[in-house]
A and B are shown apart, each in its own frame.
Chain A
Amino acid sequence: MKSLTFRHGVYPPHGKQYTENKPIERLKPKEILVFPMLQNAGATCEPLVKKGDKVLVGQKIGDSKKFISSPIHSSVSGVVKDVTPMLHPNGMKVMSVVIENDGAFEQGTTLLPHEKYDSLSREEIINIIHEAGIVGMGGAGFPTHVKLSPPADKKIDTIIINGAECEPYLTSDHRVMLEKTDRVVEGLKIILHLFPGAKGYIGIENNKPDAIEAMEKAVENEPNIEVKALKTKYPQGGERLLVYAITGKEVPSGGLPCDIGCIVQNIDTVVAIERAVIKGRPLMRRIVTVSGGAIKEPKNFNVRIGTSTRELIEAAGGFTKEPVKIISGGPMMGISLYTLDVPVVKGTSAILCLTEEEAKLEKERNCIRCGKCVEACPMNLLPCTLNSFVLRDDFESFEKYHGMDCIECGSCSFVCPSNRYLVQSFRTGKCTVLSNRKK
Chain B
Amino acid sequence: MSESKMSETMYAVSSSPHIHSKNSIQGAMKDVLIALMPALAASLYFFKLDALWIVLVSVLSAMAAEALWQKLTGQDITINDLSAAVTGLLLAFNLPVTVPLWLPVVGSFFAIIIVKQFFGGLGQNFMNPALAARAFLLASWPVQMTTWSVDWKASATSLALLKNGSGSLPKLWDLFIGNVGGCIGETSAIALLIGGAYLVYKKVISVRIPLSYIGTVFILTWIFGRGGFFMGKPLYEILSGGLMLGAIFMATDYSTSPITPKGQIIMGIGCGVITTVIRVYSGGYPEGVSYSILLMNLVVPLIDKHTVPKAFGEVK
Residues of chain A touching chain B, judged by Cβ–Cβ distance below 8 Å, are 7, 10, 12-13, 91, 168, 240, 244, 250-253, 255, 310, 313, 318-319, 322-327, 331-340, 352, 354, 358-362, 365-372, 374, 378-382, 384-385, 401-402, 405, 408, 410, 413-419, 421, 423-424, 427
CA distance A381 to B235 in the complex (A): 38
In the bound complex, do residue B21 and residue A371 qualify as a contact, i.e. CB atoms below 8 Å apart?
no
In the bound complex, do residue A416 and residue B17 qualify as a contact, i.e. CB atoms below 8 Å apart?
no
A-B contact pairs, 15 of them (CB 8 A): A253-B315, A255-B313, A325-B18, A326-B11, A332-B17, A333-B16, A335-B16, A352-B18, A354-B18, A354-B19, A359-B19, A371-B260, A372-B23, A402-B314, A415-B23
Chain A, Cβ-Cβ closest to B81: A365
Q: When A337-B11, A415-B23 are in contact, do A382 and B308 touch as well, CB less than 8 Å?
A: yes
Known pairs A331-B16, A369-B259, A381-B311. 17 more at Cβ < 8 A? A252-B313, A253-B314, A332-B19, A336-B14, A337-B11, A359-B12, A359-B19, A365-B78, A366-B123, A366-B124, A370-B28, A371-B260, A379-B311, A382-B259, A401-B308, A405-B311, A405-B314
Chain B, Cβ-Cβ closest to A417: B23
**A339: B residues at CB distance < 8 A:** 10-11
B102 interface residue per 8 A CB criterion: no
Q: When A250-B312, A336-B14, A405-B312 are in contact, do A318 and B20 touch as well, CB less than 8 Å?
A: no
**A378: B residues at CB distance < 8 A:** 312
Count residues of chain B with CB under 8 A from any CB of chain A.
44
**B309: A residues at CB distance < 8 A:** 374, 380, 382
Residues of chain B touching chain A, judged by Cβ–Cβ distance below 8 Å, are 1, 6-7, 9-21, 23-25, 27-28, 78, 81, 83, 120-124, 254-255, 257, 259-261, 304, 308-315
CB distance from B25 to the nearest CB of A (A): 5
CA distance A251 to B7 in the complex (A): 45
CA distance A368 to B254 in the complex (A): 6
Classify the secondary structure of A's interface with B. loop
In the bound complex, do residue B10 and residue A327 qualify as a contact, i.e. CB atoms below 8 Å apart?
no
Among all A-B residue pairs, the 3 with the closest Cβ atoms: A410-B17, A424-B15, A402-B311
CA distance A400 to B7 in the complex (A): 47
**B27: A residues at CB distance < 8 A:** 417
In the bound complex, do residue A413 and residue B314 qualify as a contact, i.e. CB atoms below 8 Å apart?
no
CA distance A22 to B153 in the complex (A): 71
CB distance from B122 to the nearest CB of A (A): 5
CA distance A143 to B310 in the complex (A): 32
Residue picked from A325, A369, A374, A418, most chain B C-beta under 10 Å = A369
In the bound complex, do residue A323 and residue B122 qualify as a contact, i.e. CB atoms below 8 Å apart?
no
CB distance from A17 to the nearest CB of B (A): 15
In the bound complex, do residue A382 and residue B314 qualify as a contact, i.e. CB atoms below 8 Å apart?
no
In the bound complex, do residue A416 and residue B23 qualify as a contact, i.e. CB atoms below 8 Å apart?
yes
In the bound complex, do residue B6 and residue A417 qualify as a contact, i.e. CB atoms below 8 Å apart?
no
CA distance A13 to B14 in the complex (A): 20
**B123: A residues at CB distance < 8 A:** 366-369, 418
CB distance from B61 to the nearest CB of A (A): 22
CB distance from A295 to the nearest CB of B (A): 11
Chain A, Cβ-Cβ closest to B312: A379
CB distance from B90 to the nearest CB of A (A): 15
Chain B, Cβ-Cβ closest to A372: B23
Chain A, Cβ-Cβ closest to B26: A417
**B254: A residues at CB distance < 8 A:** 368-371
Chain A, Cβ-Cβ closest to B17: A410
Chain B, Cβ-Cβ closest to A294: B1
Q: Which of A332, A359, A365, A405 contacts B122 (CB 8 A)?
A: A365
**B9: A residues at CB distance < 8 A:** 322
